[in-house]
Amino acid sequence: MGYQDVKFPNGTVFLVTGGAGFIGSNLCEAILKMGHKVKCLDDFSTGKEENIKDFIDNKDFQLIRGDIRNIETCMKACEGVDYVLHQAAWGSVPRSIEMPLIYEEVNIKGTLNMMDAARLNNVKRFVYASSSSVYGDHPVLPKVEGQEGNILSPYALTKKVNEEYAKLYYRLYGLETVGMRYFNVFGRRQDPHGYYAAVIPKFVKCLLNNESPVINGDGKQSRDFTYIENVIEANLKACYTKENVGGETFNIACGGQVNLIELYDKICEVLEVRIDPKFGPIRIGDIKHSNASIQKAKQLLDYNPDFNFREGIKLTIKYYKEYFMSNH
């Protein structure tokens, strides 16, 4: 069953924090297509107006400009809300190493504000973005929930703390918190610009501009690349499931493993270009290999990712070709 078949009652209201970001805007769009109401909370520190321009005038869409570091903003945003999909955060492992204090403020304090506002407004379920980075240096593959290693970056630490608070809020207050450990999400609206851009949009952008991209390290490091549609499915099914999932975390991935050289070759193949990449230094805080077990999510959330890596990459490249043509 895909998420389109998930039936929420008429009049269901969702709050998507970070709703103008990459994952958040895709969630807003999916919820509106299902015929439900969505509030989007964003301070536009990393989110973009262009991501929500197609539904800003939709009568079921409400934009709240505000910062999750402000508890009053969080309280107001949660009024009358059934489900919170908390995506607002600062991403990027390298940037967190440079700016740990802002990560503490936004990712930890901001998430705690949202959790408390959800609790006080009697939200049914609080589904939040965690990260595969919480596995740290644990060497065993595939990654299984409950088998974590030493944390390698401030970003990863913020996500780990979020998970601990979520467990506590479920135990103490009964707030049904559900953590989504995302594994290398990619797809439409992922930002291709800037120093901290994710690897897929960065590669595509370089190749479309006939430039040679930089691969950090030897390119043999592997990731479990996960197409955005699978992430939408996981979030909505985490709201919908009748299973007792309060305080739990789930790997949200494809269960696959693609190294960066393979990824680069696949993008070249789809674009029908061939430019040799450059190799740069290994990034501090990066893990060597990442591959998820998705058994727990399959069992308790009925999560069955519809899109594999190859299908996702084709759709993503099609999106970026159109994006760059319309922006030049």
Residues belonging to the active site: 155
Tokens 């709703």 correspond to 19
The pLDDT, as a whole number, for residue 217 is: 86
When mean pLDDT is compared across 64-68, 105-109, 314-318, the lowest value belongs to: 314-318
* Residue range 101-126, pLDDT digits in tens: 999 999 999 999 999 999 999 999 99
Residue 4 has a pLDDT of 76
Instruction: Give the pLDDT band of residue 1 (cuts 50, 70, 90).
Output: low
Mean pLDDT score, 306-324: 92
Q: Average the pLDDT over 207-217 and give the result.
A: 90
Q: What is the b/e burial string over 289-322, where b = at least 16 CB atoms within 10 angstroms of the residue's CB?
A: ebbbbbebbeebbbbebebebeebbebbbebbee
Average pLDDT over residues 142-146: 97
**What does the alpha-carbon distance between residue 38 and residue 32 come to, in Å, rounded to a whole number?**
7
pLDDT tier at 67 (50, 70, 90 boundaries)? very high
d(CA 263, CA 213): 12
| CB-CB neighbours of 50 under 10 Å | 12
CA distance 182 to 185: 7
Scanning the chain, the segments in alpha helix (DSSP H) are: 22-33, 49-52, 71-77, 93-98, 100-103, 110-120, 154-173, 199-208, 228-240, 260-271, 295-301, 309-326
Predicted TM-score (pTM) of the model is 0.96
What average pLDDT score do residues 3-32 get? Answer: 94
pLDDT tens digits for range 34-56: 999 999 999 999 999 999 999 99
pLDDT confidence band for 327 (50 / 70 / 90):
confident
The answer on pLDDT for 324 being more than 90 is no
Identify the CA nearest to 189 among candidates 30, 299, 52, 75: 52
Residue indicated by tokens 């499915």? 233
The mean pLDDT value for 295-317 works out to: 95
The span from the CA of 202 to the CA of 4, in Å, is: 31
Sign of the Cα pseudo-torsion (297, 298, 299, 300, in order): positive
Domains of the chain: 9-186+228-255+291-307 (3.40.50.720)
DSSP H helical segments within 178-254, as ranges?
Answer: 199-208, 228-240
Give the least confident one: 9-23, 80-94, 131-145, 212-226: 212-226
Higher pLDDT, 200 or 20: 20
* Mean pLDDT for the chain overall: 94
Average pLDDT over residues 58-82: 98
Is the model's pLDDT at 294 over the cut of 90? yes
- Note the pLDDT of residue 261: 92
Q: Quote the percentage of the chain above a pLDDT of 90.
A: 83
| Per-residue pLDDT at 231 exceeds 70 | yes
Least confident of 69-78, 123-132, 171-180, 281-290: 281-290
pLDDT category of residue 328 using cuts at 50, 70 and 90? low
Is 90 exceeded by the pLDDT of residue 177? yes
